[in-house]
Amino acid sequence: MTKEEFLENIKGKFQFYYDLKDQPDIVPFPIDFYAHFYQANEKYFGLKSFNIWRMTHDEHCFVKYYENVSKDDVNNMIESLKSGINYLVEPNEDHMKTFVTGVFFTENRPLESLEKYIEKFKYCKVYKFYLQGWCDIRLILIDLSSRKVYTNKAGKEVQKFYQHLVEDNNK
């Protein structure tokens, strides 16, 4: 599977639930695409103006291809995502959680130490003792050559989605 085939497939899957947008200024290097997901849930009594509770969920996803992904590339993305949280997350009483996701994909096998580095990475920012929600950084490493997907703990819940993308392209 080539870079172009994978990008076409992943963009096609993302556009059903995400808004594909222009690259924001928080990432100082070019990315292949940026996608934003927003969901709001609420419970009201009788009329919508009598709102009992409301909560919002966001995900900001940055997808980048690397011929050979290195630890420096991963660290550059991590630092960009950490600094971008201040611009991407709007904590308030309705905010529940936001995921900021960095997706790396490569056609060449990454080093085993890099796979372990991504699996051990953890970052969570809490707003007002969770009263205004939290933000986690997800890291996803996709090895197109071996069709494997590596994630950190926060990314485990979406690992199957990315694994299906890799398997769909190889049928």
Q: How many whole angstroms from its chain centre is CA 169?
A: 20
Neighbouring-strand partners of residue 124: 136
Q: What is the pLDDT of residue 57?
A: 97
Considering only CA atoms, which of 59, 62, 67 is closest in space to residue 77? 62
Q: Decide if 81 contacts 100 (C-beta within 8 A).
A: yes
Q: What is the pLDDT of residue 8?
A: 92
Q: What is the pLDDT of residue 12?
A: 92
Q: What is the pLDDT of residue 3?
A: 87
Q: What is the pLDDT of residue 170?
A: 62
> Which amino acid would we find at residue 83?
S
| Regions of the chain with pLDDT less than 50 | none
Q: What is the pLDDT of residue 50?
A: 86
Q: Chain-wide mean pLDDT for the chain?
A: 93
Considering only CA atoms, which of 78, 57, 74 is closest in space to residue 66? 74
